[in-house]
Amino acid sequence: MDQLGLRSDGGDSGALNSADERQKKQQKIIVMVCSIFSLTIFVLLTIFFARYTFKNPDPSSCWIVRDVDASARTRAGVLKKADDLGIDVTEGYPVDMGRVFGIWFAWGFWSNVVAILGAIATFVLSTKNAYAAKVVQAVTSLGYLVNWFVWLAIGTIWRFSKAGTTASGDKLEREFGVTDEVWETQLEAARSKDGYQVSGGSFMKALIMISIVFAFVLILGMAITMIVMCLSNPMPSEDDSKAEQRQATANFDDEDREKSDVVYMHHRDNMAGSSSFPKPKS
Residues whose CB is less than 8 angstroms from the CB of residue 80 and which lie 6 or more positions away in sequence, other chains included: 72
Given pLDDT bands bounded at 50, 70 and 90, which one contains residue 56?
very high
CA distance 72 to 80: 10
pLDDT at position 20, please? 74
pLDDT at position 32, please? 80
Express as a percent the part of the chain with pLDDT over 90. 41
Residue 74 pLDDT exceeds 50: yes
pLDDT at position 133, please? 83
Contact between 64 and 93 under an 8 Å Cβ cutoff? The reply is: yes
pLDDT at position 178, please? 87
pLDDT at position 282, please? 45
DSSP letters, the chain, are -HHHHHHHHHHHHHHHHHHHHHHHHHHHHHHHHHHHHHHHHHHHHHHHHHHHHHS-SS-S--EE-TT-S--BSSHHHHHHHHHHTTPPPPTT-SEEHHHHHHHHHHHHHHHHHHHHHHHHHHHHHHTT-HHHHHHHHHHHHHHHHHHHHHHHHHHHHHHHSHHHHHHTTTTPPPPTT--HHHHHHHHHHHHHHH---HHHHHHHHHHHHHHHHHHHHHHHHHHHHHHHHHHHSPPPPHHHHHHHHHHHHHHHHHHHHHHHHHHHHHHHHHHHHHHTSPPPP-
* Residue scoring higher pLDDT (65 or 26): 65
User: Which amino acid belongs to residue 140?
Assistant: T
Helices 2-54, 198-232: axis angle to 10 degrees equals 160
Given pLDDT bands bounded at 50, 70 and 90, which one contains residue 62?
very high
pLDDT at position 12, please? 55
* 104 class by beta-carbon count within 10 Å (0-12 exposed, 13-18 middle, 19+ buried): buried
Contact between 186 and 178 under an 8 Å Cβ cutoff? The reply is: yes
CA distance 55 to 185: 21
Chain segment 117-155, per-residue pLDDT in tens: 888 888 888 888 888 888 888 888 899 999 999 999 999
Chain segment 20-38, per-residue pLDDT in tens: 777 777 777 887 887 788 8
Chain segment 212-269, per-residue pLDDT in tens: 898 888 888 888 888 887 877 555 555 555 556 666 565 555 555 555 555 555 556 5
* Residue scoring higher pLDDT (267 or 7): 267
pLDDT at position 39, please? 85
- Whether the pTM exceeds 0.85: the reply is no
**Radius of gyration for the alpha carbons in the chain, expressed in angstroms and rounded:** 36
